[in-house]
Structure 1
Amino acid sequence: MTTNRGLLTAVAVPLLLLGACARPGVAGEAGEAGAPASAAPVTESATTDPTIALRVEYRGGFVPAETIPSRIPLFSIYADGRAISEGPVTLIYPGAALPNLREITLSEAQLRDLTAGAVAAGVTSGVDFGTPGVADIPSTRITVVTAGGEQVVEVMALSEARPDDASLTAQQQAARKKLSDFVASLHALFAEAASPAAKPYPAQRLAVLATPYQDAGDGLAGAPVKWPAADLPGGFLNEELRINCLTVEGAVKDEVLALAAKANERTPWESAGKKWQIKFRPLLPDEKECADLRRQA
């Protein structure tokens, strides 16, 4: 059975809370304060444009702090027509170490239709989506850039609010339904049967978020893997929360990806005599370094 990790956010909250109880948020005592470790920038091709045209992402929610920087936007659509989302994943535990990022290429007409559709669906200032009577659920943030400039809306519990929620007026429910239908159309665009067909997203850089490894004692983590790159955990991404991050690219990134493809999300990684738990976050075209992940915190 497969599903999309992004769609699992709401139902996964109880599991994440259990994880928070089992694993203290003490990430990376070995890290040093200051800028996170990062490799030299890569020059983008002159034929690409990493400017965001449309993005849909989750924000907040009652989840462990260390999971937020690794969270991948539901949809990132760029001015050059590249569109990136996380594809289906097998429902097993522990899950794969690497996210299944997929990319499609949109025509200029498709791109225009999507940005216009976002505005028509309510991604514009002044629309009242209300606040439903639910708690601890991520909000959905949608950004669209058109000739008239950037528009951003953030809607609490867009898909989770009940249709009979007394905290919402009929007009607010209608606005939320229109926006939810637009997001559903993006999911349909990326479906396996959609045209154009999706292909794996070839990230140029990979962010590595490391926390000290804690063995759950259930034997599911597998054998430790020797980390092949610069010593973990890297510099602090968030010193207060003690979240560490470094980036890899080029041949080193390819070596890391080859090892991670055989690992799972619980695999321990050995570096400088210590074991680390890693969350891998492929950087998107508009992201160059660990610091770019701070926008999600």
Structure 2
Amino acid sequence: MRTSRYGRLAVVPMLLLTSAACGQQAGATGAGDSGAPEKSYSADTVVFRMDHTGGFTTPAMLATRLPAISVYGDGRVITQGPVTMAYPGPALPNLQVGKISVGELENLIKTAREAGVGSVTDLGSPPVADVTSTRFTVFDGTKSEQLEVYALEVGTGDLGPGADQGVTAEQQAAREKLRAFAESLTGESGPLGTAHLDTQAYVPTAVAAVAEAYVANDETLKQAEVAWPGPALPGAELNKDLGLSCVTFTGEQAQQVLAAAGDANAATPWASEGKRWTVTLRPLLPDESDCGDLASRR
């Protein structure tokens, strides 16, 4: 079994981050020694997020890609656990949830800013194609700050002669600073790492299913068909050009689909209304409510 380079950061779109309350208010954060006004965040407001956009992958994966890290106003931290590179993979992603304190939340915001989020604007573009951009978002209770960096995980030293074209020495130094920040977050001793967070499996209250026409191939023909227990597929059109549709379900239907996913994998043909579908299941995060959130994230 192999894991990705970033482990918990393995593997879309502006994030809707506002100071308006959306749900129960979390505890206020103190001013500390700074003399700044007391702040408070609603429980389901994203205070920090690191996610990835673009890159060369399938349309369904683009539509259902999960953020690497989401930190909410009440201190909840949702990350992606270790993933296998074997195919077909599991039907559901390995999402984990833990919690940090108010002080740790404020320190995370401070550290992100020190790394360049909110102050750096132009980080150049290394001469490499079809890789992802890393997007950082910080919300301090008053304003949202965002930074998107193309090919952050690729150092110019990895690209051979001429790799510095399109990236100045100053930009490369800023990139290294951000890359070190990203890698430190979920490192063994990092502020969001397994040694620090007491994590458990994230259980969503809502799940989205992105469906596309089933195509038989050598791998899918080996998979047992599973009866779809949720709302009739394929659902509403998500992207006309890409042939994707989506349906959202909650409550008992969500529990039934999650249970059925335990006997399925990413290549499972799901049977609904007399037809077979390939389905990518996407647990919805606390700040998401339906398929529309997926359509807006890419």
| Residues 93 and 198 of structure 1, relative CA distance in 2, 3 Å threshold | same
**Which residue pairs with 1:60 in the alignment?**
54
- Once the two structures are superposed, the pairs formed by residues 1-297 of structure 1 within 5 Å of their partners are 1-4=1-4, 49-147=43-141, 149-163=143-157, 165-167=163-165, 168-188=167-187, 189=190, 190-192=192-194, 194-218=195-219, 221-297=222-298
Instruction: Supply the distance in 1 between the matched residues of 2:266 and 2:93 (Cα, whole angstroms).
Output: 10
User: Conserved in 2, the CA contact under 8 Å of 1:125 and 1:152?
Assistant: no
Instruction: Supply the distance in 2 between the matched residues of 1:58 and 1:154 (Cα, whole angstroms).
Output: 9
Q: Which amino acid aligns with 2:282?
A: R
Pairwise CA distance, 1:255: 0.9
Tell me the secondary structure at the aligned position of residue 63 of structure 1: coil
Instruction: Supply the distance in 2 between the matched residues of 1:219 and 1:65 (Cα, whole angstroms).
Output: 18
| Residues 172 and 72 of structure 1, relative CA distance in 2, 3 Å threshold | same
| TM-score under structure 1 length normalisation | 0.82
Pairwise CA distance, 1:295: 2.2
Tell me the secondary structure at the aligned position of residue 77 of structure 1: strand
Tell me the secondary structure at the aligned position of residue 90 of structure 1: coil
**Which residue pairs with 1:30 in the alignment?**
none
Pairwise CA distance, 1:296: 2.4
Instruction: Supply the distance in 1 between the matched residues of 2:215 and 2:287 (Cα, whole angstroms).
Output: 33
Which structure 2 segments of 5+ residues have no match?
12-21, 27-41
Residue range with higher mean Cα deviation, 195-204 or 262-271: 195-204
Show structure 1 runs of 4+ deviating over 4 A: 4-9, 43-48
Aligned-pair identity in percent equals 40
Tell me the secondary structure at the aligned position of residue 186 of structure 2: helix
Q: Which amino acid aligns with 1:211?
A: E
Q: Whose relative contact order is higher, 1 or 2, with alpha carbons under 8 Å and at least 6 apart?
A: 1
Which structure 1 segments of 5+ residues have no match?
10-42
Q: Deviations over 1:224-245 (max 9, x none)?
A: 0001121101001122323100
User: Conserved in 2, the CA contact under 8 Å of 1:94 and 1:221?
Assistant: no
Residue range with higher mean Cα deviation, 102-111 or 234-243: 234-243
Instruction: Supply the distance in 2 between the matched residues of 1:222 and 1:166 (Cα, whole angstroms).
Output: 46
Instruction: Supply the distance in 2 between the matched residues of 1:44 and 1:201 (Cα, whole angstroms).
Output: 19
Q: Deviations over 1:83-106 (max 9, x none)?
A: 111101233221101000001101
Instruction: Supply the distance in 1 between the matched residues of 2:252 and 2:25 (Cα, whole angstroms).
Output: 22
Instruction: Supply the distance in 1 between the matched residues of 2:238 and 2:226 (Cα, whole angstroms).
Output: 24
| Residues 8 and 105 of structure 1, relative CA distance in 2, 3 Å threshold | closer
| TM-score under structure 2 length normalisation | 0.82
Compute the RMSD of aligned alpha carbons: 2.1
User: Conserved in 1, the CA contact under 8 Å of 2:116 and 2:178?
Assistant: yes
User: Conserved in 1, the CA contact under 8 Å of 2:79 and 2:97?
Assistant: yes
User: Conserved in 2, the CA contact under 8 Å of 1:139 and 1:155?
Assistant: yes
Instruction: Supply the distance in 2 between the matched residues of 1:218 and 1:79 (Cα, whole angstroms).
Output: 43
Instruction: Supply the distance in 2 between the matched residues of 1:241 and 1:221 (Cα, whole angstroms).
Output: 26
Q: Which amino acid aligns with 2:149?
A: V
Instruction: Supply the distance in 2 between the matched residues of 1:159 and 1:105 (Cα, whole angstroms).
Output: 26
Residue range with higher mean Cα deviation, 181-190 or 216-225: 216-225
Q: Which amino acid aligns with 2:198?
A: A
| Residues 237 and 133 of structure 1, relative CA distance in 2, 3 Å threshold | same
User: Conserved in 1, the CA contact under 8 Å of 2:47 and 2:71?
Assistant: yes
User: Conserved in 1, the CA contact under 8 Å of 2:51 and 2:68?
Assistant: yes
Tell me the secondary structure at the aligned position of residue 111 of structure 1: helix
Residue range with higher mean Cα deviation, 149-158 or 83-92: 83-92
Instruction: Supply the distance in 2 between the matched residues of 1:101 and 1:132 (Cα, whole angstroms).
Output: 31
Instruction: Supply the distance in 2 between the matched residues of 1:103 and 1:8 (Cα, whole angstroms).
Output: 15
Pairwise CA distance, 1:111: 0.5
